[in-house]
Amino acid sequence: MRAVAVPSQSSEDTVRPRPLRDTGRLEDRVANHDGVDEPNRIAVLAASAGATVALGAFGHMLTEKTRSMQVMLPTPDGDEKPDRIVQFGHALDNDPNAIEAAYRVLTWGLIADLGAFFWRPNYELEMYECAQAFEFRNSYEGQVPAFGEPVSTDPSDEERGKLLAELLKGTLFCMISAAIDEPVEFESDPIVGMHIPQWTELFLDARQVANERINELAPQGLPIWKNTD
């Protein structure tokens, strides 16, 4: 699975997540961007609304749960390893930049979800169009659209289900990785995996919020690609 390319940067100008307060200006920034078509603009704003709600709920739960917990866990061989969920909870509790990083990854997850529904044949192009307004600021953000890339122009229900499951999992792991600024391995962290059912519910809630925002911004709806073959 390939990631959508992230513009290369030198070590001197590596982009760091902007403070959380910057998200309050997202709507103005996107609305005033000349190079973005209206459907893409609406998708970014809708995804942002959904991400704010889902991350708020997930973050509140995690910070309350992990505030008094230790990050390092003992291993059977006498060593220690970090509990990534506790580490994530502590980051959200103490670092506004971690909140911003998680929020941006989740927003890309929802943009990808909307793009897979509305724009399957032009998915990659539309992701680049959305990036004109929202940007890719680190490799984790760039990975998320690849998880949501449709496998065909007319997928079966089973294919849609598998794609959504991959996007949900990929978004969660990339969100944690971005927030703690360390890669979290997909197959070797069962503690994170245990939270996928709860995360699935929150992501679907975020999708509903995003669709409600679309209805507010575009009562006529967004253009939907239909298979005419």
Average pLDDT over residues 8-30: 38
Average pLDDT over residues 105-125: 90
What's residue 91's pLDDT?
97
What's residue 70's pLDDT?
95
**Could you read off the pLDDT of 21-55 as tens digits, one per residue?**
344 444 455 545 556 788 888 999 999 999 999 99
What does DSSP assign to residue 82? E
* pTM for this predicted structure: 0.83
Average pLDDT over residues 176-184: 95
> How far does Cα 140 stand from its chain's mean position?
9
Q: Hey, where are the domains in the chain?
A: 37-217
Residue scoring higher pLDDT (69 or 18) = 69
Question: Rounded CA gap, 74 and 115, in Å?
Answer: 42
Name the pLDDT band for 189 (thresholds 50, 70, 90): confident
What's residue 35's pLDDT?
62
Cβ neighbours of 33 (radius 10 Å): 14
Pull the structure tokens for residue 5: 């390319």
Question: Rounded CA gap, 95 and 214, in Å?
Answer: 31
